[in-house]
Amino acid sequence: MGILFLSSLLVMLLHSVEGIPLCLNSEAPFSVNSTLKFCSDPAYSSYGCCSQDRDAQLSQRFQSMNITNATCASLIQQVLCAECDAFSEDIFADSKRQSTPTLCDSGLSSDSSGYCSNLWQTCKDVPILNSPFSPYVVGPASPPPDGSMSVQKNIQDDTLTSQWESEQDFCTVLGAPQAVGNFCFSGTPFKFPPAGTDSPPQGICLDKVSSGSYIGMVPHPDLSNRIFLANQGGQVWLATVPKNGSLGPLAFNQSVPYLDISNVVVSDNELGLLGLAFHPNFLQNGRFFVSYNCDSQKSANCSGFCSCNIDVGCDPAQVSNGADSTACRYSSVIAEYSANGSSSPAQTIHANPVEVRRIFTMGLPFSTHHAGQIIFGPSDNYLYFMLGDGGSIGDPFNFSQNKKSLLGKILRLDIDKSPSTSEVSALGLLGNYSVPNSNPFTNDNNSRPEIWALGLRNPWRCSFDTLQPSYLYCADVGQDNYEEVNLITKGGNYGWHIYEGTNHYVPPSSTNQSNITDSITTIPPILQYSHASVNPIKNSAAIIGGYVSHSQEDACIYGRYLYADLFGAAMWAGVELPAGSGNYTTARINSTCSPSSPLSCDFVANSTLPNFALIQSWGQDNQNNVFILSRNGVFQMVSPSKCKFVCNKKISSTPGAPPPASRGKSIVPEATHLLLAWLTWTLLKTGMEL
């Protein structure tokens, strides 16, 4: 193994990222009102990462370089404008270290544009003041301590030939092949190579593995074949999933729950126990969290900050009507519980039902659209809390678009750091949590700092892709006509109540229209379906978000995002093509029960469709088995051959392999990055082989 291997390894490390569009600050791209003057490609204005101010700054930087060769100047302008690309976080590979995008290179692949070589040949002898290609900038932060093997030839000279040994050296560090899976810049806005054809799966084969109605499933943190099942009434059970092929039902004692807090939970329609999450260090600290609704008329410990208040343009008197009784009678709560006792958390079979501490309490304006799911981010260990718009038709108080309201948002909380008294007062925190400094609106005085994303109606449910943990999928329940799936990004606005799906929405009435304008930048859903397409008679639907399947049971479902409609008659499998592009296709798929199902399946009359009654949620265990949680029982996805569905694909990934790194981050620490870059240079200069 020699230089070629090491350089290929370095390229692989730099490009181990995922490709949904994100800017260098990890926020979503946006559109500007008019064409940018310096970075004038229309693509950068319609959907890019540069404001008009940033465009002017790039222009000033370009002028300061004093490039006298017009052809070279044109190329350098293109390189600077790569920062405006919608995929800039990926094509820059590692923005903390590199000042330039990764350049498409013909030396590493026969299928490339040779942009890096062209830039070298055009600009190699042209002086470039404050060059972005200086090895001090794109290579190691400093030369080795003893001064030997210095990266650059002469940092005082402003030409490429004075700083780099050769074109090969230059493009080894700055270049990459232009191929599917790689991100590189070729002078124009990034475009993915075309995707191949895709054959949708024939259907999903299911075994019924439990009776009863459940609303949530969480795998045990000990990575065993145990799961937690939660019902809406406030009870959680610890169950065991039989090993694949054993044809057995879930094993648990229905009469002995793991946790029972039904005495504090109010359960009715869209009220109840709605979320369950275990601390990333649960096996050591025994901490876990429950999200639920309570009734202030029945519990003195239920009352909290009312989300309908003067700061958000909501008068509680306007929502005191009908079944909702009184504004903020009901609250959304996150409470911490403990599995510490006489045994270790992993061995505990009964958790203490006494609340350890209250994390969050907020009164709700209406009795619907509470969302309520809680999940820990796999990359940051912060708690994500999904909140709906609070209820009623059309979000009449514009909560979802109002950044002073927490309704219609995804929150990101640090539950490991207790806030100071001054923080609670200054930020208006609603409980025992802190706000991560990296949240998108922490420095915006007109926004709640807890907000991670906004513009949602009732997100039900959300999930991180276990093999691409930067992908957070959220299904959002629609109002009149459309249901949608969103790919959540930092600071993203998903449009409600300006849009329902990709369609403009006009609410029947609103007491607060002042903040709603068509100029608000919103992110469209990656997938959607119409109510009429699944329920033409009643024109009624509600999406139930699932998971990207990594089950070894069905190769034709593997890598596809699964979601369904509440009423159970429709189910879909979506896939991103090409991988990393943010472009999704979807196919409606069949489902049925296998003849060997451990528990007998009921079927919808005159069909082979299982009688789900209502689909309430999806689940996934530690072995990546996929489950459907319905009013009529729990169903597990099994091999398609059991239902005579044909699948000719094979799963190429290795079970149990570690997931790839989060998007925009290398899979090695920054110090290792710099060491590899220096080592590459050392090998290039000396001809050494490993």
Convert the pLDDT of each residue in 312-368 to its tens digit.
Answer: 999 888 776 544 457 899 999 999 999 987 789 999 999 999 999 999 999 999 989
Q: Is residue 506 part of a domain?
A: yes
Mean pLDDT for 565-570 is 91
Q: Is residue 309 part of a domain?
A: yes
In angstroms, the Cα distances linking 348 to 213, 220, 230, 518, 561 are 24, 11, 17, 53, 33
What is the 3-class SS of 252-274, one letter each residue? Answer: CCCCCCCEECCCCCCCECCECEE
Read off the pLDDT band of 19 (50, 70, 90): low
How many domains does the structure of the chain reveal?
2
Q: Which 8-state DSSP code applies to residue 533?
A: H
**Residue 688 above 80 pLDDT?**
no
The span from the CA of 76 to the CA of 90, in Å, is 19
Task: Say whether both 184 and 208 belong to one domain.
Answer: no
Task: Say whether both 161 and 300 belong to one domain.
Answer: no
Mean pLDDT for 372-382 is 97
Mean pLDDT over the full length of the chain: 84
Q: Is residue 439 part of a domain?
A: yes
Read off the pLDDT band of 303 (50, 70, 90): confident
- 244-302 pLDDT tens trace: 666 789 999 999 999 999 999 999 889 999 999 999 999 999 999 999 999 999 988 89
Range of the domain at 364: 203-643
Task: Say whether both 456 and 569 belong to one domain.
Answer: yes
User: In this predicted structure, which of 134-143, 484-493, 571-580 has the lowest mean pLDDT?
Assistant: 134-143
The span from the CA of 173 to the CA of 682, in Å, is 12
**Residue 96 above 60 pLDDT?**
no
Sign of the C-alpha dihedral computed for residues 137, 139, 141 and 144 taken in this order: negative
Q: Is residue 656 part of a domain?
A: no
Percent of the chain with pLDDT over 90: 63
**Residue 519 has what pLDDT?**
62
Q: Is residue 337 part of a domain?
A: yes
Q: Up-side HSE of residue 523: CA atoms within 13 Å toward CB?
A: 27
**Residue 250 has what pLDDT?**
95
The span from the CA of 53 to the CA of 588, in Å, is 45
Q: Is residue 548 part of a domain?
A: yes
> 261: domain CATH number?
2.120.10.30
Task: Say whether both 175 and 236 belong to one domain.
Answer: no
**Residue 152 has what pLDDT?**
44
**Residue 581 above 90 pLDDT?**
no
Sheet (strand 409-413) strand order: 374-376, 383-386, 409-413, 451-454
Parallel, antiparallel or unpaired: strands 482-488 and 330-338: unpaired
Q: Is residue 654 part of a domain?
A: no
Task: Say whether both 277 and 189 belong to one domain.
Answer: no
Mean pLDDT for 474-494 is 96
Angle between helices 115-123 and 167-174 (to 10 degrees): 130
Mean pLDDT for 37-59 is 94
**Residue 138 has what pLDDT?**
55
**Residue 601 above 60 pLDDT?**
yes
Task: Say whether both 316 and 296 belong to one domain.
Answer: yes
Task: Say whether both 437 and 527 belong to one domain.
Answer: yes
- 203-225 pLDDT tens trace: 999 999 999 999 999 999 999 99
**Residue 687 has what pLDDT?**
42
Task: Say whether both 492 and 564 belong to one domain.
Answer: yes
**Residue 371 above 50 pLDDT?**
yes
Beta carbons of 564 and 544 less than 8 angstroms apart: yes
643, 660, 678 - which closes a domain: 643
Task: Say whether both 270 and 309 belong to one domain.
Answer: yes
List the one residue out of 493, 489, 483 whose CA is nearest residue 522.
493
**Which carries the bigger pLDDT value, residue 195 or residue 18?**
195
Task: Say whether both 286 and 379 belong to one domain.
Answer: yes
- Provide the β-strand partners of residue 564: 544, 571
Beta carbons of 637 and 551 less than 8 angstroms apart: yes
Q: Is residue 651 part of a domain?
A: no
Task: Say whether both 20 and 113 belong to one domain.
Answer: yes
In angstroms, the Cα distances linking 88 to 27, 84, 134, 178, 683 are 11, 7, 20, 15, 30
**Residue 232 above 70 pLDDT?**
yes
Q: Up-side HSE of residue 139: CA atoms within 13 Å toward CB?
A: 26
Task: Say whether both 127 and 219 belong to one domain.
Answer: no
What is the three-class DSSP state of 291?
strand
